[in-house]
Amino acid sequence: MNICIVEDHKMLLENLRLLLQGEPDIHVSGAFESAEEAVTGTDWERTDILLADIELPGMSGVELIQRVKHAHPSVDAMAYTISEDRAVVMAAIRAGASGYLLKGSTPRILIESVRELHEGGAPMSPKIARKLIAELRLQDEAHAAGAPRIELTQRETDVVRLVEKGLSYGEISEALHISTHTVHSHIKHIYEKVHASSRSEMLVKARKLGVI
């Protein structure tokens, strides 16, 4: 199988490349420190698996997974990250990830997970599987109660969290490497989704809905 690795920590990237390349049935077709490099530097038509960190500089791992899956549906994606955050997990899965493995897993688990993914499975760290089950239960309970289901994109979730920290539009723009116009557009969409008319109301509703 051909695998593309995207990890911004240079030493970890090299360790992953050496580990996976050492397996007789695995060929590392690309190892990149950013999503942008991976998009242009990978032959996706010949790639079977994308192993991507989520918290990447610039384009996030979630955005990368979404872009790759949209253009090349046959590529299987697995998030490989330290994040156990419920919103991040759900965003990665919605983007198209079929696996979610926490960093710190043993090398053998990583290798077995990659093989399982390639064979049609959906490997997940036990903690993540439990969070996913809990999320589905919460959604079912909310749906049964007649509450609307609110879904924010990963970028919208990032924006809400920075708003919660008190950052200005300009500071959010710098933190996420996007224009202030894009920040304003994201916030407008968030207002519409949670039915809020002010920043404070947006944050209150986002907390109640479990978005942040």
**Whether 211 contacts 157, CB under 8 Å:** yes
Whether residue 130 sits in one domain with residue 160: no
Whether residue 55 sits in one domain with residue 82: yes
CATH number at residue 17: 3.40.50.2300
Whether residue 106 sits in one domain with residue 28: yes
CB within 8 Å of 56: residues ≥ 6 apart: 6, 8, 34, 35, 64
E strand spans, the chain: 2-6, 27-32, 49-52, 76-81, 97-102
Selection from 85, 18, 33, 87 nearest residue 64 by Cα = 33
First to last CA, the chain: 38
**Whether 51 contacts 31, CB under 8 Å:** no
From residue 156, give the alpha-carbon distance in Å to each of 27, 31, 133. Answer: 35, 28, 23
Domain that holds residue 28: 2-136
List the chain pLDDT tens, one digit each, 212 residues.
999 999 999 999 999 999 999 999 999 999 999 999 999 999 999 999 999 999 898 899 999 999 999 999 999 999 999 988 877 888 888 889 999 999 999 999 999 999 999 999 999 999 888 877 776 776 666 555 555 567 788 899 889 989 888 888 889 999 999 998 899 889 988 988 888 877 888 888 787 777 76
Whether residue 160 sits in one domain with residue 111: no
CATH number at residue 165: 1.10.10.10
Whether residue 100 sits in one domain with residue 160: no
Whether residue 199 sits in one domain with residue 119: no
Whether residue 189 sits in one domain with residue 103: no
Q: pTM score, two decimals? A: 0.67
Whether residue 90 sits in one domain with residue 119: yes
Whether residue 106 sits in one domain with residue 7: yes
How many domains, in total, are found in the chain? 2
Whether residue 123 sits in one domain with residue 65: yes
Whether residue 160 sits in one domain with residue 129: no
Whether residue 110 sits in one domain with residue 43: yes
